[in-house]
């Protein structure tokens, strides 16, 4: 999906997913919705996922960053972290997302950083902090994903 060729994965993730014949940057991208919103996942590991999104094109009628856009960025990053934690035999399914919007953004790029709060066998919870270009916190979100067992062939469609 879109411009995802700059996603950095740690070697242990590349090794873990090797042999499945998958395009990891595409699998761990923002998907079609994220592509429309120009979300870029730039760094992806179970302990830290980083992504960016432009404010322009993702605003509400008053010209401010839409809270739903922040939620899309947060859920994307937390889901990627959860999937990487679960590995090739688990599928992460979001079951709870909450977002607190601290300040508005009118322009530029926002950056989200997802870090784990809990990484278990059946659930994973990530805190996602979204900041503006001045490193001011725009939003704090928390995502919990259920981790479901799957056959790794499921990724192939």
Q: Residue 4, class by beta-carbon neighbours within 10 Å (0-12 exposed, 13-18 middle, 19+ buried)?
A: buried
3-state secondary structure of 5: coil
Annotated catalytic sites, by residue?
75
CB 156 within 8 A of CB 150: no
List the end-to-end C-alpha distance of the chain, in Å, as a whole number: 16
β-bridge pairing 90-101 and 137-149: antiparallel
Count the alpha carbons within 13 Å of 61 in the hemisphere toward its beta carbon. Answer: 0
């Amino acid at each position: 999906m879109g411009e995802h060729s700059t996603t950095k994965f740690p070697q242990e993730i590349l090794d873990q997913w090797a042999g499945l014949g998958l395009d990891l940057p595409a699998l761990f991208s923002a998907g079609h919705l994220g592509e429309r919103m120009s979300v870029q996942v730039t760094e992806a590991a179970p302990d830290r996922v980083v992504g960016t999104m432009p404010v322009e094109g993702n605003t509400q009628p008053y010209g401010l960053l839409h809270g739903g856009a922040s939620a899309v960025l947060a859920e994307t990053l937390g889901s990627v972290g959860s999937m990487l934690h679960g590995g090739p035999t688990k599928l992460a399914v979001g079951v709870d997302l909450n977002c607190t919007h601290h300040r508005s953004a009118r322009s530029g790029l926002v950056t989200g950083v997802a870090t784990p709060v809990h990484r278990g066998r059946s659930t994973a919870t990530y805190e996602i902090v979204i900041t503006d270009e001045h490193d001011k916190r725009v939003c704090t979100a928390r995502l919990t994903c259920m981790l479901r067992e799957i056959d790794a062939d499921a990724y192939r469609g």
